[in-house]
Amino acid sequence: MTRAAFRDGLTASLPIALGYFPIAFSFGVAATRAGFTEGEAFTLSLIIYAGASQFLALALLTSGAPVFVSAFTLIAMNLRHVLYGPALMRAAGKDASTRRAWVWAFGLTDEVFGQALGALARGQRFSEPYMLGLGIGAYLSWLAGTAAGAFAGGGALDAWPALNAGLGFMLPALFLALLLSILSRRQLPVIAVAGLVTVGGTLLISATSGILMGMLVGAVTGLVRR
Amino acid sequence: MNWDLLVVALLAGTANWVFRVLPTLARTERLAPGGWLERFLAATGPAAIATLFMAAILPLLSPGVAQLLPVGSGTVAVLGVYLVRRSVVLATLAGALAHAVAFWALT
């Protein structure tokens, strides 16, 4: 039962893994292009394991942003993950086990969370081995894609400018898709304020200030009761 | 190894583990919803993503068809595929593909 559930999880991770590989590949290419080694690119994927944050880490580190400002920005960006575990366990029911959550819950990315929640909504029983299989399949694909991109190297795509341009659009595309996935009427003012403050801060002060101001003012907007 | 990168990775990675694992283990879904902390946490993610989308798209918005058409095509593809499939991964890949095709068509 445990092995079967783990295998089911691995199988369910296939669509995510197929999608993750090219995004991670473009991250590996971007990292080596930014001057990082293959090992450093792989380390970011191994430890952080959050796509948009990793692209942003490259931009912040190469722009000379202070280490703690960079870390704070990445941490603030991933704060939304705080809500995934509770939302999933609410759908799983009060008797669902979380004994091994310290392992499988690290794999609760946006897509793994969405897939798991969808499976529960379709009537599947919650199972920790399933969650482990689902998470491991996605994680291994992310690591493999990063390694492949990093070893292909920053100059790997110079002969294919259109492919290069497409991979360069991966980051705004990823942010836009993530934004759509969390869009709700309740959060619209937060999103609008954060976007406007970012544009204002970037144009009037600097890109790093715009990012920090946008996040802080946007999050504080969420405190206003409506 | 770049030490700045390692410190940022360890801080962000540890925070990710904490954000994903501890609320799951603590079964915080049993807490009463609607408090200020819940509202602040719920708003932080959307604020961060909106901010980062603006920060990523702003440098691409320079005047001229050669720059704007690929960006516009990619954006429309992300919106269209997300509306139809509700998949972040597929929408991202479609956006990158549309951007690449528009870039190729213009060069």
SS3 (DSSP) at B34: coil
CA distance A176 to B52: 9
What is the three-state SS of B59-77?
Answer: HHCCCCHHHHHHHHHHHHH
pLDDT band at residue A179, thresholds of 50, 70 and 90?
confident
CA distance B107 to B102: 9
CA distance A20 to A23: 5
Cβ burial of B30 (10 Å; 0-12, 13-18, 19+) is: exposed
Query: What is the nearest CA distance from A11 to chain B, expressed in angstroms?
Result: 17
Domain boundaries, chain B: 62-107
Question: By the 8 A CB rule, do A147 and B6 touch?
Answer: no
**Identity of residue A183:** L
Q: Token digits for A120?
A: 């529960």
Q: Token digits for A107?
A: 């794999």
- Report whether pLDDT(A104) > 90: yes
Phi-psi region of B86 (alpha: psi -120 to 50; beta: other; left: phi over 0): left
CA distance A21 to A138: 9
Instruction: Find where tokens 């909106």 sit.
Output: B50
CB within 8 Å of chain A, chain B residues 24-63: 24-25, 27-30, 36, 39-58, 60
**Identity of residue A57:** A
CA distance A108 to B56: 24
Fill in the DSSP letter of residue A187. G
Kindly indicate whether the ipTM for this predicted assembly is greater than 0.90, answering yes or no: no
CA distance A161 to A33: 14
pLDDT band at residue B105, thresholds of 50, 70 and 90?
very high
pLDDT band at residue A169, thresholds of 50, 70 and 90?
confident
Q: Token digits for B64?
A: 């001229």
Distance of CA A54 to the CA centre of its chain: 8
CA A104 to each of CA A5, A46, A139, A160, A212: distance values in angstroms, whole numbers, following the listed order: 13, 15, 11, 38, 31
Chain A and chain B share a number of CB contacts under 8 A equal to 322
Query: B87 to chain A: which residues are within 8 Å by CB?
Result: 19, 111, 114
CA distance A25 to B66: 26
Query: A36 to chain B: which residues are within 8 Å by CB?
Result: 2, 5
Q: Count CB atoms within 10 A of the CB of residue A224.
A: 11
Cβ of residue B66 closer than 8 Å to a chain A Cβ: no
The reply to whether the predicted model has a pTM over 0.80 is no
Query: What is the nearest CA distance from B64 to chain A, expressed in angstroms?
Result: 16
Interface touch B74/A171, C-beta < 8 Å:
no
CA distance B47 to A81: 13
The reported pLDDT for the residue numbered B42 is: 73
Interface touch B74/A178, C-beta < 8 Å:
no
For B42-96, write each residue's pLDDT tens digit.
787 788 778 878 988 888 887 777 788 999 999 999 999 999 988 888 898 899 9
CA distance B90 to B81: 7
Query: What is the nearest CA distance from A182 to chain B, expressed in angstroms?
Result: 7
Name which of B23, B88, B107 is nearest A85 (Cβ-Cβ): B23
Interface touch B15/A219, C-beta < 8 Å:
no
The larger pLDDT score, comparing residue B48 to residue A199, is at: A199
CA distance A171 to A136: 23
Domain boundaries, chain A: 2-182, 185-226
Interface touch B91/A173, C-beta < 8 Å:
yes
Interface touch B19/A162, C-beta < 8 Å:
no
